[in-house]
Amino acid sequence: MAATERGALLAAALALPGVTAAPGAAAQGAPDAAFVQFKYLDYRDWQPGGRRMRVDNPGFYAVKPLSDTLAIEGSIVYDGMSGASPLYFNALSGASGEGVRDYRTAGDVKLTKWFDRFAIGAGAAYSHERDYISRAGTLELRTWTEDRNRTYAFAFSGAADRIHTESGAAERERKYVLDFLAGVTQAVNETLIVQSNLTYSRGHGYFDDPYKLFDRRPDRRRVLAWLTRANQHFPERNGTLKVAYRYLDDSFGADSHMVEAVWHQALPGGWSVTPSLRYLTQKAAWFFRGPPIGSGLRPGEPYTADARLSAFGAFTPGIVVARDFGDGWVADVKVEFYRQKASWRAGGGGTEGLLPFSARWIQVGVGRSF
């Protein structure tokens, strides 16, 4: 039967004058339109005992196509921090700076050029704090199969940081970090896309926290992160389930597992509601020592009491309400609540004596495409 000639009808249709197929919804190229976005993040955290930290964080992001195959994007973020740096132990009350006031300004810019079967990107980033300056450069390569159902990504970044505190705790210290990423994204079927990224980070130099008592960390760190994500769309529900899992292997020993589930529900009128839940469980760094401060401290050996490197579990429930106004304007409000507790560590073994740490952030954003 002649019908076995595969795709013959489509080939014949495309031979008609003026009949062309679209390049496909997943065409790779510069974005159609320029897009400018402003977000304001209001962050607060607290612990039992009334300690407070507050960050006000306005940020801009913009992307502009320079041609069909060339785009430039960049962002500027400003953090204004006030309040005390979080302390995790009752025993330490009052030992660290009350009324800390600091700021951070960070910006980055990236140029991406698309070719038929690959795209390359080059970027630079700069971050400035009173006591910490970071400069970084990034190179990216993405390449995809002819049907555009699979994309491979490779990226490399190098950062050079300078740490210098007025107190003299850190004097012209340096830190150098190289990051490598290899990833694959696959369209599994019409409604499912999965991505798996492997990143490897190796750094050397000053990793201490100059504001923490006795803090002394190894001068080398290797972190391997494996992140796998899947987005499944449900057309009959106008909804999308997004799940993620990340495993982190850290030479400091603060290995962690992270799982996240997000449900994006599209609603009439351009509205959408997106509840989410994230859970992280991590081990303590091998040189972490629990309270009281200084216990287990041996001269010349690494030591930290930084609760970031303790053993805990953390949940983040959150919700985003967004609206696409249909005329180029988009707006969204995000509220997330974060809580860290030693007893939430999977399988137990959380750091004893750790006070629960809570944070919440509200992020308001508006964007406009031109």
Q: Which residues, numbered 118-177, are part of the site for another protein (CB under 8 A)?
A: 123, 125-127, 129, 131-132, 134-138, 147-150, 155-157, 159, 161, 163, 175, 177
Restricted to residues 82-121, the positions that interact with another protein (CB under 8 A) are 85, 104, 106, 108
Beta carbons of 322 and 344 less than 8 angstroms apart: no
**Shortest Å, Cβ 259 to another protein:** 4
- Which of 51, 142, 217, 264 binds another protein (CB under 8 A)? It is 264
Residue 358: both structure tokens together:
């809570």
> From residue 210 to residue 249, what is the string marking binding to another protein with x (rule CB under 8 A)?
-xx----------xxxxx-xxxxx-xx---xxxx-xx-x-
User: At 3, phi and psi to the nearest 5?
Assistant: -65, -10
State yes or no: residue 342 binds another protein (CB under 8 A): no
Q: Quick count: other Cβ atoms within 10 Å of Cβ 37? A: 17
**Shortest Å, Cβ 274 to another protein:** 8
* Total binding residues toward another protein, as defined by CB under 8 A: 145
Question: Which residue, 133, 55, 90, 104, is CA-closest to 307?
Answer: 90
**Shortest Å, Cβ 292 to another protein:** 21
**Shortest Å, Cβ 269 to another protein:** 10
Residue with smaller CB distance to another protein, 64 or 242:
242
- Which of 293, 305, 309, 354 binds another protein (CB under 8 A)? It is 309
Sign of CA dihedral 46, 210, 58, 77: negative
**Shortest Å, Cβ 296 to another protein:** 19
Cβ within 8 Å of residue 92, ≥6 positions away: 213, 291, 293, 305
Residue with smaller CB distance to another protein, 299 or 326:
326
d(CA 188, CA 192) in angstroms, rounded, equals 5
State yes or no: residue 339 binds another protein (CB under 8 A): no
- Which of 94, 166, 189, 299 binds another protein (CB under 8 A)? It is 189
- Which of 119, 305, 334, 351 binds another protein (CB under 8 A)? It is 334
Question: Which residue, 60, 63, 62, is CA-closest to 105?
Answer: 60
Segment contacting another protein by CB under 8 A, of 87-95, 111-119, 186-194, 290-298: 186-194
Residue 50: both structure tokens together:
């009334």
State yes or no: residue 201 binds another protein (CB under 8 A): yes
Residue 167's alpha-carbon distances to 97, 127, 214, 247, 361, in angstroms, are 12, 21, 15, 37, 31
Q: Would you give the DSSP letter of residue 14?
A: H
Residue 278: both structure tokens together:
């994230």
Question: Which residue, 227, 245, 306, is CA-closest to 281?
Answer: 245
Restricted to residues 42-71, the positions that interact with another protein (CB under 8 A) are 43, 45, 57, 59-61
State yes or no: residue 358 binds another protein (CB under 8 A): no
State yes or no: residue 254 binds another protein (CB under 8 A): yes
Segment contacting another protein by CB under 8 A, of 64-72, 112-120, 291-299, 359-367: 359-367
Beta carbons of 210 and 228 less than 8 angstroms apart: no
Quick one: how far is CA 338 from the chain centroid? 15
Segment contacting another protein by CB under 8 A, of 64-72, 112-120, 295-303, 321-329: 321-329
State yes or no: residue 14 binds another protein (CB under 8 A): yes
Residue 310: both structure tokens together:
């303790």
d(CA 320, CA 335) in angstroms, rounded, equals 6
Residue 175's alpha-carbon distances to 135, 161, 285, in angstroms, are 11, 5, 19
Q: Would you give the DSSP letter of residue 327?
A: S
Residue with smaller CB distance to another protein, 157 or 291:
157
Sign of CA dihedral 241, 238, 265, 60: positive
Segment contacting another protein by CB under 8 A, of 87-95, 112-120, 184-192, 293-301: 184-192
State yes or no: residue 7 binds another protein (CB under 8 A): yes
> From residue 268 to residue 297, what is the string marking binding to another protein with x (rule CB under 8 A)?
--x-x----x-xxxx--x------------
Beta carbons of 167 and 97 less than 8 angstroms apart: no
